[in-house]
Chains A and B, each alone.
Chain A
Amino acid sequence: MTGGRIFTIALIVTSVIGAIGIFVGGWWIVFLIGLAVGIVLPARAALILGALFGLATYLEPLLRDHLIYGLGPTATSLAAIMGYPHQPAIPIVLTCALGLLLGLAGAWLGSAGRAFFQPASSR
């Protein structure tokens, strides 16, 4: 398999696991998966995958809900609660950013930790 295909499969698998996690309330699972990704994959790939799967994991339920229920009123209401009435993009961006950053943070920490603890000879 090519690297691109492996990356795609990894993105799908991590996103599916992440989605299952967040649907049972485990929003933090994105960080843990990112951590594992960071430990397993090379640094650059891990960071990209961590960010992308984190984003995908948080974005997918929003897209699904939007298709079924329409997210406009909800996003508008959340923006109003946050103090930004009539700016529904803000909670959407915040949610996606949260997923992205959780995945990225996990991947970065895993990658950096692996590099730090790995003996120099094995690198």
Chain B
Amino acid sequence: MRLANFAAAIVFSVAILYVSFVGAGPLPALGPAFNPGTGAWTMAFDASIGRETQHLTGLQQPVRITLDRDGTAHIVAQTDHDLFLAVGYVHARFRLFQMDLLRRQGEGRLSEVVGKKALDSDRFELQLGLLRTAEQEWNGRPGPSERARMAILAYTQGVNDRIAQAEFLHQLPAMFTLLGYQPKPWTPIDSLIVKGDMTQTLNFTDTPLVMALLERSLGPDLVSKWFPVLPPNPQSPYDPGPYPARPTVAALPAPQISGAEAVAAADAYQRLASLPAGLVATGGASNNWAVAGTRSASGGALLAGDPHLHLTLPAIWYQLTMDSPSYHVAGVSIPGTPVVLIGHNQHIAWSLTDAQNQQTFYYSEVEDAAHPGQYSWNGSWRRYDTASYDIPVRGGPTERLTVKLSVHGPVITERGQTTTVWWAGNIPSQDLDVLLGVDQASDWQQFRDTLRGWYSPTHNFVYSDDKGNIGMISAGYYPHVKSGRPWLPMPGTGEDDVDGTIPYDDIPQVYNPPEGIIWSANQRQVTADYPWYIGTASNFFDPGYRANEIHRVLSQGGKLSAADMMALQTDTRDYLASEMVPILLTVMPASPARDLLAGWDYRMETGSAAATIWWAFWQTYIAQAFDPWWKAKTVPVDRSEMNDSLGQYLESQVMAGSTVCPPEGCSPSAICPTEECSRFPLNVALDKAIRSTLDTLAKSLGADPKTWTWGRVHQRTLQNLAKITGLDYGPRPDRGDANTPLAAPDFPSSHGPSWRMVVDWGSGTFMGIYPGGQSENPASQWYTDRVDTWWDGRYAPMLTADQAASAPGATSWKLQP
């Protein structure tokens, strides 16, 4: 009996201690995680913000930080060094787990904390090479400027001050406790990696692989028609020229994609498609524009910017103001980096959109059995370089990864044909130093000169200043390929290599244009007369509907105000609908659905049933036009992935009075694929699509079209960064679609305006808002406190440090050496 009792006690104790020390199944180690003194419960303390005095290692002078009511941090430092140290401290105080995730993603170390489910991502990242590039940027020659080196080192010190403090006080963010690990010290490389993450998200593409698969299946004729270099529709380029003269390179005969190249493309494409969202850029959606003082009601220049990104909680942005002897800047920063990326200083304001030019190229390396481990380049055989990495895997053995590198870049697949990728994000650059220069610039000349050093991702930097001037420059690296068809994988023999960049003076840019307005929305920035290749319509410029709508509104005449800027940022008018619906109405018989469309203002509002009919119709029409081709040609690319390009083509055809020819042809006239079907078949196609649309909607939403409101089918979600759905915001019905200035693609949408900023230099108006909150702590009032303001299309004033200090609800911290 005593033995049995003792044995039972041992078993019970071991079980309790096991789940406490180790965890069980999905449960973390319960002991440290749920220790009420130092475990995850400390998020309650962390969420409580009051007056504080902190002593930080490395600080030179006292620093004052004011946290205003919504958590915006206003940092006033007496030295530049202390400013960056304080930024690092504040970032880590509110976003340490996010920062750790960002660096782990780029460094291929996610598996170490979440297990083998992140192995594909880690392998890919280490292959792609963000870590190698960051190390070269920091350790290479010439390396960072003194300004950047000081800023990054001070920032690193500030982050590490907070990590040490949090560990000592048992105040690490709860997610560390729950995942059972502690953050390693921050390093300068980590900051460069975080910047690299953003570059990758915005411009690492698989488009040449997709184009290869399309060309192999559809053939070159259809591909050149449906996925042309120049867009088939007008896109309101902001830089209409004139452009510098340059001999145009004659078009080369198009070689067929070989079977081996197709196998390689399919393998790499499938691999990239299976990666978590965000690692491969899939398109852009951001807006910015400026209005000259001559066109504004206040007499000062106006600027508006809303970069569209994956909307997460916490957000990618952290809002702050930075004041020191050399810096007086306000705006949003990315946790992990010491700079304001979008904002204003005392004299200028700026924002950015992705420029979308092609920065990713694939090369098919030439190998043969007589030269194992080598590839042919410029007439000689070269051995691949290699880089090896250990990938620690939680709950499993460490994986060894060896990456092969040619002169073009890392090998991305060896199936079919060895394929490497050349990516501008892998060129060591000093982009953080450029941003420090932007933060300090005081006029267009300084702004433009500073951006000369910007490499990647290429951005449309919009500019306005306190003297009424406006400008835009699409700064970045524009790879120039010696010959060949860069939108497809190219031979790696050397003839088709990237041999430089388009000269800075020749890249798209304007300053004080005569019409007094500038705009960008990821559209192609230049007209067909531009002499340089910058990418195809599908790689991956926006279809241009947002740009067209913004241009339409800004060019209507009359004086514009900050309120007009805000209204346009939250505008839901679908430009494509305004073109297509009037044509559709000509074939629709009288019906309640037709009445709804006829009375519609083309705005994708949650209460609009016409919005639902329009959107469903357009998707149906694209599907009916192209799915027969996809089936007939066995196209291995998801058709919906190509909807932007296919939609542009279809739009151009409908505007011209024709429709896409089906594979069997439009008897008796059209011969596919060279001709399209003219007027009468267009009517038939539109009629078929709208009938099918109305049938489908009736089945899914009920018989009464008035009830088919957009909010019933279109919702938006702000996703928790750690993919904990219980910490998401939404899904909640929301307005907009992929084509509206207030962008809301997908169902539910998790992409859109990540920060809205409006500046009016004439009235001294500086307003901004992002969805989310300043804290990553879900128990904090600053986790989602800004969401409703953002959702409603309202803004918050961007206060100065002095204004914030005297504002109600502000809290002050003192940082002491």
Q: Which A residues lie at the B interface, using CB under 8 A?
A: 19, 22-25, 27-28, 31, 58-62, 65, 68-71, 73-74, 76-81, 83-85, 91, 94-95, 98-99, 101-102, 105-106, 108-109, 111-113, 115-116
Contact = CB atoms under 8 A, between A and B. Distances in A.
Contact of B45 (A65, A80, A108): A65
B164 interface: no
Nearest to A20: B37
Closest 7 CB pairs of A and B: A80-B726, A85-B726, A112-B9, A77-B778, A61-B36, A23-B37, A27-B35
Contact of B9 (A76, A99, A113): A113
A65 B35 contact: no
B35 A25 contact: yes
A108 B9 contact: yes
Given A22-B37, A81-B726, A112 B8 contact: yes
B31 interface: yes
B197 to A, nearest CB: 24
B779 A115 contact: no
Contacts of B35: 22, 25, 27
Contacts of B10: 109, 112
B47 A73 contact: yes
A69 B3 contact: no
B34 interface: yes
Contacts of A68: 48
Given A25-B37, A112-B6, A115-B2, A84 B726 contact: yes
Contact of B778 (A59, A73, A94, A99): A73
Contacts of A91: 34, 40
Contact of A71 (B13, B17, B44, B724): B44
A73 B41 CA distance: 10
Contact of A19 (B32, B37, B178, B779): B37
A115 B726 contact: no
Interface secondary structure of B, over-half rule? helix
B47 A108 contact: no
A31 B38 contact: no
Contact of B20 (A60, A70, A78, A98): A98
A106 B38 CA distance: 21
B36 A80 contact: no
B39 interface: yes
Interface size classification for chain B: 35 or more
A95 B36 contact: yes
B581 interface: no
A115 B10 CA distance: 13
A62 B41 contact: yes
A109 B9 CA distance: 5
Given A81-B726, A111-B9, A112-B5, A74 B43 contact: yes
B580 interface: no
A72 to B, nearest CB: 9
Contacts of B34: 27, 91, 94-95, 98
28 contacts: A19-B37, A23-B37, A24-B37, A24-B38, A27-B20, A27-B32, A27-B34, A28-B17, A28-B21, A28-B31, A61-B41, A71-B44, A73-B47, A74-B41, A74-B43, A78-B174, A79-B726, A80-B727, A81-B40, A84-B726, A95-B41, A98-B30, A102-B20, A105-B9, A109-B13, A113-B9, A116-B2, A116-B3
A88 B36 CA distance: 15
Contacts of A71: 41, 44
A82 B10 CA distance: 29
Interface of B: 2-3, 5-6, 8-10, 12-13, 16-17, 20-21, 26, 30-32, 34-41, 43-45, 47-48, 170, 174-175, 178, 724-727, 777-780
A99 B111 CA distance: 31
B38 to A, nearest CB: 5
B20 A28 contact: yes
Nearest to B726: A80
Contacts, number: 133
A113 B5 CA distance: 9
Given A27-B32, A109-B9, A22 B726 contact: no
Contacts of A24: 37-38
Contacts of A28: 17, 20-21, 31
A44 to B, nearest CB: 13
Contacts of B3: 116
Contacts of B727: 77, 80-81
A62 B36 contact: yes
B724 A80 contact: yes
Residue from A60, A74, A115 having most chain B Cβ neighbours under 10 A: A74
A8 B37 CA distance: 23
Nearest to A84: B726
A65 B36 contact: yes
Contact of B44 (A74, A80, A112, A115): A74
Contacts of B40: 78, 81, 91
A110 to B, nearest CB: 8
B732 to A, nearest CB: 15
Residue from B10, B34, B725 having most chain A Cβ neighbours under 10 A: B34
Contacts of B48: 68-69
Nearest to A102: B16
A106 B41 contact: no
Contacts of B779: 73-74, 76-77
Contacts of B725: 85
Contacts of A81: 40, 174-175, 178, 724, 726-727, 778
A28 B17 CA distance: 8
B43 to A, nearest CB: 5
Contacts of A80: 724, 726-727, 778
Given A27-B32, A109-B12, 8 more contacts: A27-B37, A61-B41, A71-B41, A79-B726, A80-B727, A102-B16, A105-B12, A106-B13
B726 A83 contact: yes
Contact of B47 (A22, A59, A69, A101): A69
Nearest to B5: A112
B348 to A, nearest CB: 40
Nearest to A120: B2
A106 B17 CA distance: 10
Nearest to A18: B37
Nearest to A61: B36
